[in-house]
């Protein structure tokens, strides 16, 4: 199996179609199926098109062989927002179908997802009430928007993810994510979760231990050096590189969402694109599983 965009989209189409079982609702079948729609969204993220209108013009010219029918911008946007549950399901399905499914070493971090840059935008945005002001310490900047919380394997395969108001504590969000997917944790024989010092809290660590999770993090200034800390500094760079893939290659901060579902589907779209590339690289035996170079042109 070769490593190119056409092969990736074909393999992903078959995977999605098998997952949904080819189900069809009553009435006239859609000219663009849900499987084709999700593959089209993945291609958009991999090829770096922020504007849906420009993307559809590009797809009509260069991808007509794979997608004989393409809707207008409004129809594509509505169909894509409605497909959010399917996109979230496929992120999990690709992780299960990879060699990283039973990796008990997870890394976690959060990264800003700005949703507005000006005061008037903040006041009239449909994301107001969900988004909020936050501070990004790694870039020394304030932002208005959301935080993306990502739990993934060291290879970058997404396991859990969530969007939350930046004013909500990191430990609270992570605890809620784990509680919602408690069955996923229970199916494993212990999990080593690697995080930064922002998740430091003895009550929080005890709560994680009840779920079978051991937290590995850097020590704070008022603590002794924790076990394995010299090695932890190298491992911590993995999650930073995953965030860099989402922001640098998949343009996470240029999502263009203006509503609750609009932001959610565009973030999910980029996470699925990364998961699909990792999944396909794993299946084809690529030396670097998180490389997107073969699919970004």
**Cα dihedral across residues 127, 130, 136, 140: positive or negative:** positive
Q: What ranges do the domains of the chain cover?
A: 102-254
Q: What percent of the chain has pLDDT over 90?
A: 69
Distances in Å between the Cα of 235 and the Cα atoms of 126, 188, 195, 230 are 38, 21, 10, 9
Confidence of residue 25 (pLDDT cuts 50, 70, 90): low
Alpha carbons 232 and 249: distance in angstroms, whole number = 26
pLDDT at 125: 81
Q: What does the angle CA 227 – CA 154 – CA 218 come to, to the nearest 5 degrees?
A: 30
Q: With 60 as the cut, is the pLDDT of residue 23 above it?
A: no
Q: Give pLDDT, residue 203.
A: 92
When pLDDT is averaged across residues 74-86 and rounded to a whole number, the result is 95
pLDDT on residue 150: 96
39, 74, 122 from 62: Cα distances, Å: 15, 21, 37
275 has pLDDT over 80: yes
This prediction has a pTM of 0.94
For residue 147, pLDDT beyond 60: yes
pLDDT band at 81 (very low <50, low <70, confident <90, very high): very high
Higher pLDDT, residue 102 or 78: 78
CB atoms within 10 A of CB 252: 23
Selected residue with higher pLDDT from 238 and 289:
289
Confidence at residue 225, expressed as pLDDT on a 0 to 100 scale: 72
Average pLDDT value for residue range 70-78 = 95
Question: The tokens 């494993």 sit on which residue?
Answer: 188
Tell me how far apart the alpha carbons of residues 267 and 13 are, in angstroms, rounded to a whole number: 20
Pairing of strands 213-216, 191-194: parallel
Mean pLDDT of 6-16: 95
pLDDT tens by residue, 218-268? 887 777 777 666 677 777 788 889 999 999 999 999 998 889 999 999 999
Domain 102-254 CATH assignment equals 3.30.390.50:
no
192 within 8 A of 106, measured Cβ to Cβ: yes
Q: How far is CA 20 from the centre of its chain?
A: 21
- DSSP for the chain reads ---SHHHHHHHHHHHHHHHHTT---SSSPPSS-HHHHHHHHHHHHHHT---HHHHHHHHHHHSTTT-S----HHHHHHHHHHTHHHHHHHHHHHHHTSTTTT--EEEEEEEEEEEESSHHHHHH-TTBTTBEEEEETTTTEEEEEEEEEEEE-TT--EEEEEEE-TTS-HHHHHHHHHHHTHHHHHTSS-EEEE--GGG--HHHHHHHHHTTEEEE-PPPTTSPPPTTHHHHHHHHHHHHHHHHIIIIIS-GGG----SHHHHHHHHHHHHHHHHHHHHHHHHHT-SSTT--GGG--
Which residues have CB under 8 Å from 129's CB, separation 6+?
A: none
Mean pLDDT over the full length of the chain:
90
The mean pLDDT value for 196-201 works out to 86
Q: Does residue 30 surpass a pLDDT of 80? A: yes
Q: What is the CB neighbour count within 10 angstroms for residue 270? A: 25
Mean pLDDT of 150-179: 94
């Amino acid at each position: 199996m070769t490593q190119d965009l056409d092969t990736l989209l074909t393999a992903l189409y078959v995977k999605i179609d098998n997952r949904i079982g080819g189900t069809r609702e009553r009435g006239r079948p859609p000219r663009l199926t849900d499987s084709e729609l999700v593959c089209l969204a993945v291609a958009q993220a991999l090829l770096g098109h922020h504007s849906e209108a420009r993307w559809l013009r590009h797809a009509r010219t260069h991808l007509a062989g794979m997608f004989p029918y393409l809707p207008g911008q409004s129809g594509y946007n509505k169909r894509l927002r409605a497909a959010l549950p399917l996109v979230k399901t496929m992120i999990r399905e690709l992780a299960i179908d990879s060699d990283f499914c039973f990796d008990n070493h997870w890394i976690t971090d959060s990264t800003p997802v700005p949703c507005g840059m000006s005061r008037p935008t903040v006041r009239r945005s449909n994301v107001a009430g969900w988004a909020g002001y936050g501070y990004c310490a790694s870039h020394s900047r304030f932002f208005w928007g959301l935080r993306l919380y990502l739990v993934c394997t060291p290879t970058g395969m997404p396991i859990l993810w969530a969007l939350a108001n930046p004013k909500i504590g990191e430990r609270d969000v992570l605890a809620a994510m784990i509680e919602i997917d408690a069955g996923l944790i229970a199916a494993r024989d212990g999990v080593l979760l690697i995080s930064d010092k922002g998740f430091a809290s003895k009550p929080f660590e005890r709560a994680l231990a009840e779920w079978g999770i051991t937290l590995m993090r850097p020590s704070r200034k008022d603590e002794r050096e924790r076990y394995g800390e010299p090695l932890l500094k190298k491992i911590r760079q993995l999650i930073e590189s995953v965030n860099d893939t989402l922001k640098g290659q998949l343009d996470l901060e240029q999502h263009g969402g203006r509503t609750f579902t609009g932001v959610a589907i565009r973030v999910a779209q980029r996470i699925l694109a990364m998961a699909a590339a990792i999944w396909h690289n794993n299946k084809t035996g690529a030396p670097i599983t998180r490389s997107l170079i073969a699919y970004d042109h």
